Every structure is written in structure tokens, then in C-alpha cells.
């Protein structure tokens, strides 16, 4: 039986887990990242988390085949270096793979966290047991994170920026995105953008139960509030949810035309809206997809929840050399 350690580097917490060949989680820990301490301190926290997870699993570090690391990017995959992270001070060109190996004695492999999460869903989540090799994952949060798996391998692209489906343009000349482009999928369908589009509609005078419930604090309206209001029959909220679902459905069509995936997986807090979101995305997909052949792609929620980060990192460790490193 092979054992893998997955390390998930987040701005708030570092999560580590030991996962076996059958994707069973044998032990896990979560520790505060203390990002304010800078990269050296964070790397030490990560190594401690790996050692503690191994102890919790009742296995020995020398029996771990490989450690997978999911990190915010951008990442230089050839050098296994984190070039920068948006949320943690002092992270410039940190050789994270080699630092973890020197503190654990095990070979390690470094991957972008959204890519790792996609591989985790393929192996242990939505794609588990289904022989899925072609999968796209979109995480609807503050932004729209994305990972693409083709032929069982993560797509990195020529310049390490591949798989960023959240920044495909769905509206020419549309809303300004944080990346500098206009009209990105992210600028319309992230949880933040969904809440913000509702706020803007209310500020320009649209009538809605949200205007009453959030009087004087319109800017606190979240995607969840919009979905809740839609569920109660509010017309504006339903329009906003429909728009989010339509853009997501169109993005799914575009992804299918380019990649022909078996599965498109959505993750992030917004998937808790369940059928209210997925029925509408699937319906928008059907309304916009071609008629050349029947579309067999499955559009489904992610299944791994809070453990997705370290299970994805463990999946990267298990996939090992298929993506170039270690
Ligand atoms: Zn963008």
C-alpha cells in the first residue's frame, strides 16, 4: 500500500493529510499558517504539519512515497518555485518543493492549488471510480479558480498559466476583472461578483425583497443572500441567479468545444445552493450547446469539501512524474 502526504498551503491555515492508494484519509491536521512570519516560518509550519499528519495516521515518514504540495501561484513548475502569492507577505521565488524535502526527507512535488483540487476531484471526489481522465473544475469563491485535466494530466501550458478558465471572456467589453481583462467569467460568476451584481441592481433602483431586508447595508449582500431571496421567489434575485447560471452554462459549452471533457465540476460555497444552481446551469448549457451530437458531459458539484486541498495535493503526489517533477 502506498502512502502519500498532501499539503495544502492556505493564507489562514496549512492542512496536511496522509492518504493511501485508495484515496482513504488515514490522518489529518490543520495548523495556523502564520503568514505574517514570512516564508521561512510558513515552510516550518508546513513540515510540522506533514510530520503530525504522519503521526496521526500511524505510519512512518520513510514509508511515505511522495509529498504533494498545493500552493497559491504563480508557480515555476520546472524549478518547483513559488514565484509569488497574492495573500502572503515576502513570498518571492520560494523553492518550496526542495525546502519541504529537506525538512521531511521525502521527495515532493509542487502544484498550483486549483490544479491540485481538480486532480483530487478526478481521483477521489466527483470522478471517483468512473475512469475519468478529462475533467475541468471551477471553484466559485472570491474569484473563479480553475484546473483542467487532459489525459489524466494537469494542463500547465507553455508559460505555467494554463487552465485559467475563470478568465475566459464571456462578455466582450464587459465588467472589469481583477486580472485586467474585461468580461471574464470570474467578473460575472464568482460568489463575490454574484453578490455585487445584485447590489448594483438595487443601487440603480431595482425593487426586491433584498432592498427591504438589507436597507442601509446593501453592500453586505452576499451570493448566499441572493440565492436565499431567489428561493423565496424574489424576481430580481432570480434574475441575478439566472444570469450567473447562464454565464456558467456558456462557459461549459466553450470548455466542451475545446476540451470535450467527461465532467465539469463546480466547487466553492456557491454549490451549497444545490439544484437551484445546477438545474439552471445545465439548462443554460442545453440551450446554448450545439446540435451536432448529443452532449454527454456531466455538470456536477465537487464532493471533497474541506479536505479537497490536501486530498488534491496527495493526488498530485500519487500522479508523481506524470506532471514532470520528482
Ligand atoms: Zn479575469
pLDDT of the residue at 323: 57
CA 189 – ligand 1 centroid, Å: 11
CA 60 – ligand 1 centroid, Å: 43
Closest listed residue to residue 123, CA positions, set 304, 290, 306: 304
| Span 30-43, pLDDT tens digits | 999 999 999 999 99
CA 188 – ligand 1 centroid, Å: 10
Band of pLDDT at residue 326, cut at 50, 70 and 90: very low
Residues 81-109, mean pLDDT to the nearest whole number = 95
pLDDT of the residue at 314: 98
Residues 224-235, mean pLDDT to the nearest whole number = 98
Whether 322 shows a pLDDT value over 70: the answer reads: no
CA 318 – ligand 1 centroid, Å: 31
CA 144 – ligand 1 centroid, Å: 9
CA 244 – ligand 1 centroid, Å: 16
Helix (H) or strand (E) holding 319, with range, is helix 308-319
282-307 as b/e: b if 16+ CB within 10 A: bebbeeebeeeeebebbbbbbbbeeb
Listed residues: CB within 5 A of ion ligand 1: 167, 177, 179, 181, 184
- The pTM (predicted TM-score) of the whole model is 0.94
Q: Which domains does the chain have, with CATH numbers?
A: 3-112 (3.30.420.40), 126-303 (3.30.420.40)
Amino acid at each position: 500500500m502506498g502512502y502519500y502526504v498532501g499539503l495544502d498551503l492556505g493564507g489562514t491555515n496549512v492542512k496536511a493529510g496522509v492518504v493511501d492508494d485508495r484515496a482513504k484519509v488515514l490522518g489529518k491536521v490543520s495548523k495556523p499558517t502564520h503568514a505574517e512570519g514570512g516564508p521561512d516560518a510558513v515552510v516550518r509550519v508546513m513540515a510540522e504539519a506533514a510530520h503530525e499528519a504522519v503521526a496521526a495516521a500511524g505510519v512512518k515518514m520513510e514509508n511515505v512515497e511522495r509529498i504533494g504540495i498545493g500552493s497559491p501561484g504563480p508557480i515555476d513548475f520546472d524549478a518547483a518555485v513559488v514565484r509569488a502569492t497574492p495573500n502572503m507577505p515576502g513570498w518571492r521565488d520560494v523553492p518550496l518543493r526542495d525546502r519541504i524535502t529537506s525538512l521531511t526527507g521525502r521527495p515532493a512535488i509542487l502544484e498550483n492549488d486549483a490544479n491540485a483540487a481538480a486532480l483530487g476531484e478526478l481521483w477521489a471526489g466527483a470522478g471517483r471510480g468512473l475512469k475519468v481522465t478529462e475533467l475541468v473544475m471551477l471553484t466559485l469563491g472570491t474569484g473563479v479558480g480553475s484546473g483542467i485535466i487532459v489525459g489524466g494530466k494537469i494542463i500547465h501550458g507553455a508559460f505555467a498559466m494554463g487552465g485559467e478558465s475563470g478568465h475566459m471572456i464571456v462578455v466582450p467589453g464587459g465588467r472589469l476583472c481583477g486580472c485586467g481583462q474585461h468580461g471574464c467569467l470570474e467578473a460575472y460568476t464568482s460568489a463575490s461578483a454574484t453578490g455585487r451584481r445584485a447590489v448594483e441592481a438595487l443601487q440603480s433602483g431595482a425593487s426586491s425583497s433584498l432592498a427591504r431586508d438589507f436597507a442601509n447595508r446593501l453592500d453586505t449582500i452576499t451570493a448566499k443572500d441572493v440565492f436565499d431571496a431567489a428561493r423565496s421567489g424574489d424576481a430580481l434575485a432570480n434574475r441575478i441567479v439566472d444570469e450567473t447560471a447562464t454565464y456558467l452554462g456558456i462557459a461549459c459549452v466553450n470548455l466542451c468545444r475545446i476540451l470535450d471533457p467527461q465532467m465539469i465540476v463546480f466547487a466553492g460555497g456557491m454549490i451549497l445552493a444545490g439544484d437551484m444552481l445546477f438545474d439552471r446551469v445545465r439548462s443554460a448549457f442545453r440551450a446554448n450547446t450545439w446540435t451536432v451530437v448529443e452532449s454527454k458531459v456531466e455538470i456536477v458539484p465537487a464532493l471533497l469539501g474541506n479536505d479537497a486541498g490536501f486530498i488534491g495535493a496527495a493526488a498530485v503526489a500519487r500522479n508523481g512524474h506524470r506532471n514532470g517533477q520528482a
